[in-house]
């Protein structure tokens, strides 16, 4: 087996550069297209997804290896296997993505990716934390039965994900017709993120839009119908944890209210829109974006906390392979608490101030007293620096107040 690298590790710097470039471009032409709070939520969702993937990746890979040991064909590592694997993986992604919109159980895991009412490069980072729980990998893992090595599947899957990053933008209109006919483009994917009845649940492609053309799910973007992004029942939250769990909470509510077992099963596995449901007309000119009138000082505080969160996630990714399962889960819970605090702060929740005080003081106390931080030894100088950074960030924390929310 060749020594393969992770393409996403090399793509992340380009992601950051492109997001900043798009922000600068949008700021001059349409400032309302970017909301710093929405972008920060997308970044938090992306970092959380990375943590969840690191925790579950080994289990999925082990399952794929077991399947590969019982493969039908010995394809190996011949040159033609790579492009064939890429195309077949994209076809499997199409069906996984389509199921993610047509089955409530899979939609509950995927919905957070559509929860933003903005459409920009940062939206691409809104990835699920619950993909392993929802078993979303079952659509692509059967390729191991055919004889494609799991490492090859991970490699081409990473390029599939990288390709999908740049199509989350309004900065590019359309490409020449032959490109638009074969490839998934920003225009096609804007349709996919729309809540307009004409566009809803269309264009599931990852890389090749030909799958949508073949299976009858393709719709062209029209200049005479502005797109309203998001989901039909807006999330109305900047909290990454709630963004990942709100649809599962709705599933539980629906199944509990069902009078029969059959009704409860329908609640989990029916279409998100219901059987035979007619999607009502949507007046895109009257769609209002979620806004809590977050204070400037709260935004600055949330940005500082996100930078600390990103540092923590980077350390997690470096050390996770050396941690026990329990320590890995514990570290993930610390990271989750941080994302909770950032989300509540951005929403100006009245209890956010006390929660953040308790969280930061507890973390600072852990740095000061514990002999090591999840597998990494803490020197005296490092302890002082970490505790000082946390306490300094606490000084930026504005007092909590009752949020001002728009009327329905």
Is 8 a residue whose pLDDT tops 50?
yes
Mean pLDDT of the chain: 91
At 332, list the tokens.
Answer: 């993930």
Higher pLDDT, 285 or 289: 289
For position 283, what pLDDT does the model report? 61
For position 406, what pLDDT does the model report? 47
Rounded mean pLDDT, 48-68: 94
How far apart are alpha carbons 249 and 45 in whole angstroms? 18
For residue 233, the tally of other CB atoms under 10 A from its CB is 12
What is each CA distance from 114 to 19, 33, 107, 250, in whole angstroms? 18, 16, 10, 16
Question: Where would I find the H helices in 1-123?
Answer: 7-29, 36-69, 81-102, 104-110
- Residue 281's pLDDT band (cuts 50, 70, 90): low
- Residue 127's pLDDT band (cuts 50, 70, 90): very high
- Cβ 211 vs Cβ 202: under 8 Å: no
Please report which helix (H) or strand (E) contains residue 377, including its range: strand 376-377
User: Phi/psi at 202 (nearest 5 deg)?
Assistant: -135, 165
Residue with tokens 């990998």, as numbered in its chain? 137
Q: Which of 31-45, 212-226, 272-286 has the highest mean pLDDT?
A: 212-226
Rounded mean pLDDT, 137-155: 95
Is 280 a residue whose pLDDT tops 70?
no
Length of the chain: 408
Is 224 a residue whose pLDDT tops 60?
yes
| DSSP designation for 286 | G
Chain centre to alpha carbon of residue 391: 30
Percentage with pLDDT > 90 across the chain: 76
What is each CA distance from 267 to 248, 274, 279, in whole angstroms? 11, 9, 18
Stated pTM of the model: 0.91
For position 29, what pLDDT does the model report? 86
- Residue 3's pLDDT band (cuts 50, 70, 90): confident
User: Phi/psi at 278 (nearest 5 deg)?
Assistant: -95, 120
Q: What is the pLDDT of residues 287-340, one digit of tens each?
A: 677 887 899 999 999 999 999 999 999 999 999 989 998 999 999 999 999 999
Chain centre to alpha carbon of residue 184: 19
Helix and strand totals (H; E) in the chain: 16, 2
């Amino acid at each position: 087996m060749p020594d393969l690298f992770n393409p996403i590790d090399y793509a992340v710097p380009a992601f950051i550069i492109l997001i900043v470039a798009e922000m600068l471009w949008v700021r001059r032409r349409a400032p309302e297209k970017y909301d710093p709070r929405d972008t920060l939520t997308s970044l938090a969702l992306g970092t959380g997804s990375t943590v969840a993937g690191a925790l579950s990746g080994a289990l999925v890979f082990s399952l794929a290896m077991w399947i590969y040991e019982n493969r039908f064909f010995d394809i190996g590592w011949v040159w033609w296997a790579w492009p064939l694997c890429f195309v077949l993986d994209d076809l499997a992604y199409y069906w996984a993505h389509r199921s993610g919109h047509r089955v409530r159980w899979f939609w509950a895991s995927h919905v957070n990716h559509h929860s933003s009412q903005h459409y920009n490069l940062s939206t691409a980072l809104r990835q699920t934390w619950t993909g392993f729980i929802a078993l979303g990998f079952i659509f692509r893992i059967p390729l191991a039965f055919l004889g494609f090595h799991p490492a090859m599947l991970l490699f081409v899957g990473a390029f599939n994900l990288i390709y999908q990053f740049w199509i989350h933008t309004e900065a590019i209109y359309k490409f020449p017709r032959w490109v638009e006919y074969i490839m998934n483009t920003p225009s096609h994917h804007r349709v996919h993120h729309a809540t307009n009845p004409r566009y809803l649940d269309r264009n599931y492609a990852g890389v090749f839009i030909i799958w949508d053309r073949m299976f009858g799910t393709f719709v062209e973007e029209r200049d005479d119908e502005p797109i309203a992004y998001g989901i039909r029942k807006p999330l109305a939250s900047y909290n990454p944890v709630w963004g990942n769990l709100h649809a599962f909470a709705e599933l539980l509510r629906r199944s509990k209210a069902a009078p029969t077992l059959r009704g409860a099963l329908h609640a989990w596995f029916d279409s998100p829109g219901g059987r035979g449901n007619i999607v009502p007309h949507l007046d895109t000119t009257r769609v209002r974006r979620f806004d809590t009138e977050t204070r400037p000082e709260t935004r600055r505080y949330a940005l500082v906390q996100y930078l600390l969160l990103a540092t923590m996630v980077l350390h997690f990714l470096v050390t996770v392979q050396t941690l026990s399962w329990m320590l890995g889960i514990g570290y993930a819970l610390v990271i989750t608490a941080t994302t909770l605090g950032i989300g509540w702060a951005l929403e100006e929740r009245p209890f956010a101030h006390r929660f953040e005080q308790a969280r930061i003081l507890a973390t600072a106390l852990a740095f000061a007293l514990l002999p090591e931080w999840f597998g990494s030894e803490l020197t005296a100088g490092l302890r002082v620096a970490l505790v000082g950074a946390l306490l300094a960030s606490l000084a930026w924390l504005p007092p909590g107040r009752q949020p001002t929310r728009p009327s329905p």
